[in-house]
Chains A and B, each alone.
Chain A
Amino acid sequence: MTVVSEAMPSAATMRAREATVRRFALTDTIFLAATRLSAILVLLILGGVAISLFAGSWQALSTFGLSFLTTESWNPVTENFGALAPIYGTIVTAAVAILIAVPIGIGIAIFLTELCPRPLRRPIGIAVELLAGIPSIIYGIWGLFVFAPFLQTTVQPFFINLFHDVPGLSSLFAGPPYGIGLLTSALILAIMVLPFITSITKDVFDTVPAVLKESAYGIGCTTWEVTRRVVIPYTRVGIMGGVMLGLGRALGETMAVTFVIGNAHRISASLFAPGTTISATIANEFTEADGDLYTSSLVALGLILFVITFLILAAARYMLMRIDARTGA
């Protein structure tokens, strides 16, 4: 900096500079306000969803009270509505889907992190993740036209014949084979949540410090022992988070299930029987619902689904946050 390079700026220049600085400050304030408002808006959306669902379902909840949760009947003619059958269908399909998808998903993650030749890792990882991007309606149309007829003609008759003498299993796999039904929905859901579970499991497997695995290999452990005794215990929380995330998806999935569930408001022991889920009931009946109580009951179903998925997703995020905090990511 030179000592005196120029004369003091004129008063006019000074004023112009001050104005510029003030303008900068003002724009900064506005920009900060705009960004903070947008961030708050995200909170407001969730709050708005909760409030509007609660308001919309008030009529049904005040009419039926808690018995709404325990009534199986769903009768638009007598205007007697209960949520038990959709809740049952939602939980059964999601649970079966998770039971199928978790072992396969973890298997693929082990394959990708331990076994797969390096050049194939990325392509296969991407292919599995592309499954996650396919819209659910595609799974639905595929399930209805390709998968359900296949199940109806081959898999279901096989199981019905196989188990028809076995007590317990015979009612679980009771006929007739419709093709569509709870099990078909659960299988489609399993395919849909598989990519989520796989990619999260693979990501948390990658957080295991190499030195832990190497020391296990160093004392002579096999790959399976390293996975079973080191990798999986180390990442247990993260895997649970991934599974819960998949469960949240499976519970709320609408279109794929709507195609293949069969839309029957009843609870039957057989997995081959048609049933319904909360989301499928709403998707099928909402636009045709006449009468405020009918609409309100459907919104109440939505509220139940919202509460269930919110709790499960919150638990999932909490678990995944714990893994993130540990790795410092």
Chain B
Amino acid sequence: MSTSLSLHGRRKTRNSVMMTLCVVAAGIGLAWLALILGALVYKGVAGLSLSVFTEMTPPPGEAGGLLNAIAGSIAMTIIAIAVGTPIGVLAGTYMAEYGRFSKLTTVVRFINDILLSAPSIIVGLFVYELLVRPMGHFSAIAGAFALAILVIPVVVRTTEDMLNLVPNALREAGTAIGAPRWVVIKSVAYRAALSGIVTGILLAIARISGETAPLLFTALNNQFWSSNLNAPMASLPVTIFQFALSPYEEWQQLAWTGALIITLTVLALSIVARSLTGRREDK
């Protein structure tokens, strides 16, 4: 009796120890998030002022803002989304609608999932070889193109998932009244899956707005205002990279402020994207 009791005790102790460790692990995870966000807000807010959004990046040792970097990031993001979204949505459409059971779909899904988590610096090298080297110079177009390649897998994945959730009865109803396949897709499937597809695009924007590695040797950087897409263009992440590693206090402060701006943007986008599909996750 006593041995079985002590065995019972050992098992209970072991259970409490392991469960305590799990709680500690969760505590560590959350504390780390809090630490990073706390440091970011603390250091970033100090430099937050209107001039950040109205002035150009300064030369070393002077005050200034991040206007050209923010504008460059927005411009390249818009081009990347404009190029990547249609391709991603169409590819996702093929996988969920026309070729749901085809071999091609299986292969594309596998490759797409790999692209989804492939190192972004590899994409930068690819675009360098593809565009920058033949053109002979760095350009905003090359940067936007690199970002577009990162957009495509995200959009493909969400589009396919969301279209797969559309009940087939809806499609059959469309076909039964004589609508051709593309009308069914356009007016029934897309409409039913719209919020999900938009979520995918928002997640893609969130993903690329902080990407630095693919821009380093495609768009490079630019100390000045530039609206020439065929020339190097500043972007927020690359500017942060450059300023943070510099020895100048003003630049480091701007880097923190820029980091705060990016993080807030990304968090806001993720939260909006989440709330768009939130109800579905509750199931």
Of chain B, the residue at the smallest CB distance from A246 is B117
> Is the Cβ of A111 less than 8 Å from the Cβ of B26?
yes
CB contacts under 8 Å to A, within B99-135, are: 99, 104-105, 107-108, 110-115, 117-123, 125-126, 128-130
Q: Is A39 in contact with B115, judged by CB distance below 8 angstroms?
A: no
Query: Is B22 part of the contact surface with A, judged by Cβ < 8 Å?
Result: yes
The CA of A309 and the CA of B14, in the complex, are separated in Å by 38
A275 is an interface residue with CB less than 8 A from chain B: no
Q: Which of B22, B97, B113 contacts A108 (CB 8 A)?
A: B22
B110 CB to closest chain A CB (Å) equals 6
Instruction: Please determine whether B125 and A225 come into contact, CB atoms closer than 8 angstroms.
Output: no
Is B53's beta carbon under 8 Å from chain A? no
Does B210 lie at the interface of the complex (its beta carbon under 8 Å from any beta carbon of A)? Answer: yes
Q: Which of A1-42 contact B (CB under 8 A)?
A: 24-25, 27-28, 31-32, 34-42
Q: In the complex, which residues 224-283 of chain B have their Cβ closer than 8 Å to any Cβ of chain A?
A: 237, 240-241, 244-245, 252, 255-256, 259, 262-263, 266-267, 270, 274
Among A138, A259, A317, the residue within 8 A (CB) of B263 is: A138
- Please, which residues of chain A bring their CB within 8 A of the CB of B105? 39
Q: Is B93 an interface residue (CB 8 A)?
A: yes
Question: Given contacts A135-B263, A254-B119, A279-B119, are A142 and B36 in contact (CB under 8 A)?
Answer: yes
Q: Is B171 an interface residue (CB 8 A)?
A: no
Total A-B contacts with CB atoms under 8 angstroms apart: 258
Asked whether B19 lies within 8 Å of A224 as measured between CB atoms, the reply is: yes
Confirm or deny: B61 has a beta carbon within 8 angstroms of a beta carbon on chain A.
no
Cβ–Cβ contact A35 & B11, under 8 A: no
Chain A positions within 8 Å of B217 at CB level: 286-287
CB distance from A140 to the nearest CB of B (A): 7
Complex interface residues of chain A between 182 and 238 (CB less than 8 A to chain B): 191, 194, 198, 222-225, 227-228
In the complex, what residues of A have CB within 8 A of residue B12's CB? 222
Q: Which residue of A lies closest to B25 (CB)?
A: A107
Residue contact A223 to B15, C-beta cutoff 8 Å: yes
**Complex alpha-carbon distance, A249 and B118, angstroms:** 8
In Å, the complex CA distance between A314 and B117 comes to 10
Query: Known: A52-B126, A127-B30, A313-B118. Contact between A42 and B112, CB under 8 A?
Result: yes
Please tell me if the beta carbons of B121 and A302 are within 8 angstroms of each other in the complex.
yes
Contact B119 A252 (CB under 8 A): yes
Instruction: Kindly specify which of B63-71, B179-187, B191-199 makes contact with the partner chain.
Output: B179-187
Are B259 and A42 in touch, CB under 8 angstroms?
no
How many chain A residues touch B (CB < 8 A): the figure is: 89
Interface size class, chain B: 35 or more
Q: How far is the CA of A137 from the CA of B244 in the complex (A)?
A: 10
The reply to whether A136 and B212 form a contact with Cβ atoms under 8 Å apart is: yes
Contact in complex: A253, B94 (CB < 8 Å): no
Using Cβ atoms and an 8 Å threshold, which residues of chain B touch A144? Answer: 244-245
Interface residues of A in 225-281 (CB under 8 A from B): 225, 227-228, 245, 248-249, 251-255, 258-259, 279
Q: Does B173 contact A (CB under 8 A)?
A: no
Contact check: which of B11, B29, B112, B237 meets A222 at CB < 8 Å?
B11
Is B200's CB within 8 Å of the partner chain A?
Answer: no
What is the CB-to-nearest-CB distance from B131 to chain A, in angstroms, rounded to a whole number? 10
> Which of A31, A53, A105, A138 meets B262, CB within 8 Å?
A138
Chain A residues, Cβ within 8 Å of B188: none
**Which residues of A109-132 are within 8 A (CB) of B?**
110-112, 114-116, 124, 126-128, 130-131
- Contact A38-B94, Cβ < 8 Å, known A48-B130, A255-B212: yes
B211 and chain A: residue at smallest CB distance = A135
Contact status A313-B117, CB under 8 Å: yes
Residue A178 interfacial (CB < 8 Å): no
Contact between chains at A24 and B23 (CB < 8 Å): no
Q: Which of A31, A55, A249, A302 has the most CB of B within 10 A?
A: A31
State in angstroms the CA–CA spacing of A46 and B109 once bound together: 12
**Is B81 part of the contact surface with A, judged by Cβ < 8 Å?**
no
Which of A141, A223, A252: most chain B CB closer than 10 A?
A141
Q: Closest approach, in angstroms, between the C-beta of A168 and any C-beta of chain B?
A: 27
Contact B130–A124 (Cβ < 8 Å): no
- Among A27, A39, A49, the most chain B Cβ lie within 10 Å of the Cβ of A39
B21:A107 contact, CB within 8 angstroms: yes
Complexed CA–CA distance, A98 and B244 (Å): 27
Given A133-B266, A139-B36, A56 and B25 contact (CB-CB distance below 8 Å): no
16 A-B residue pairings within 8 Å (CB atoms):
A27-B182, A42-B112, A49-B123, A105-B25, A128-B33, A134-B266, A135-B262, A138-B262, A194-B32, A252-B120, A255-B241, A279-B213, A282-B125, A286-B217, A299-B129, A309-B118
Beyond A42-B108, A46-B115, A114-B22, 15 extra complex contacts between A and B, CB < 8 Å: A24-B180, A35-B90, A49-B126, A56-B129, A124-B26, A133-B267, A137-B237, A138-B262, A142-B36, A142-B40, A254-B212, A254-B213, A305-B119, A313-B118, A314-B114
Q: Which residues of B contact A (CB under 8 A)?
A: 11-12, 14-15, 18-19, 21-26, 28-30, 32-33, 36, 39-40, 43, 86-88, 90-91, 93-95, 97-99, 104-105, 107-108, 110-115, 117-123, 125-126, 128-130, 149, 152-153, 156, 180-183, 185, 206, 209-213, 216-217, 220, 237, 240-241, 244-245, 252, 255-256, 259, 262-263, 266-267, 270, 274
Give A contacts to B, CB under 8 Å: 24-25, 27-28, 31-32, 34-43, 45-46, 48-49, 52-53, 55-56, 103-108, 110-112, 114-116, 124, 126-128, 130-131, 133-142, 144-146, 191, 194, 198, 222-225, 227-228, 245, 248-249, 251-255, 258-259, 279, 282-283, 286-287, 299, 302, 305-306, 309-310, 313-314, 317, 321
